[in-house]
Amino acid sequence: MVSIIVTVCNQLGMNRLFYEYLKRNTSLPYELIVVDNHSTDGSREFFRERADVMIENDANYSYPRSQNQGIAVARYDYLVFINNDVLVTRDWDKRLIETMNHPSGGGVCETVCACSNDHLEGRKAQRRLNNHWKRIKYPLRFLFGTRYASLRAMVCLTYGNLNRLGERRWEKFGTRCIEGFNGSCVAFKRTILDKVGLWDERIQAGDFDYFCMVKERSLTVGDLRPMQVALGVFVHHFQRLTERSKHVEFADRPNIITLEAKWGDRMPGLMKDIVE
């Protein structure tokens, strides 16, 4: 059983497409936990009818605070933190958990990310896919905006059949991983919370920060592996869709600090083994 936690603030068209792919392509029993940060475009009402658990905030809060709200109500031992601008491929959840529990490359891993057009097995493959995506995304977004039909057309023109790409990557890579992180789709075993703790609510760049927290624990205590990217599990990420939409200031902004303020000169050492 999987607890899927997603944070939203408006973007109704994207939320409709996200939910459509999630419902169609998720294999395991799951609960959908939606943290709504004061949506005003109908997104809150849309998810009220579809989420298993709905958290309705009265303002827009930062990513880590919202994720911790989801953890507080999650019931299951596998937690997946996924962006609302992500489209999953068939059996993504089953394959992600299989990858986490596969005893290869250093043993079972307690936190694994799906790969995406942001993060692939190397810089060349990532650049090739991203360039193709951008050639399609920018003209369509300029002409038609980010409505549901436009977003759907972007994906169809980029991949043809997104699930077919997911199948090809699973056949090619299986449970193979590389050290790294992809913050748009991160899976935790609940046990990692006892070792590393919750998301640090002072750091908006939560994926960078949690990677560093896990890596530091792996180096100092040695009881877990660094965060991994599952090369056989593909999701599509629309990339900065939230940032490019009308931004609503975070209500907890006064509490937020930079990664550099927290990690200082330790950060380069923690990040040096990431494969790009």
- Could you give the percent of the chain with pLDDT greater than 90? 82
What's the CA gap between 258 and 208, in Å, rounded? Answer: 11
φ and ψ at 261, to 5 degrees?
-65, -35
241 — pLDDT class (breaks 50, 70, 90): low
pLDDT at 66 over 70: yes
**Residue 276's pLDDT is what?**
41
What's the CA gap between 52 and 6, in Å, rounded? Answer: 12
pLDDT at 80 over 50: yes
Q: Where on the phi/psi map is residue 176: left (φ > 0), alpha (ψ -120 to 50), or beta?
A: beta
Domains of the chain listed by start with CATH number: 2-271 (3.90.550.10)
What's the CA gap between 43 and 9, in Å, rounded? Answer: 8
Question: pTM score, two decimals?
Answer: 0.94
Q: Which residue has the tokens 């303002």?
A: 59
Helix locations, the chain, DSSP H: 12-25, 43-48, 63-73, 92-100, 123-144, 148-159, 162-173, 191-195, 206-220, 241-244, 259-263, 267-271
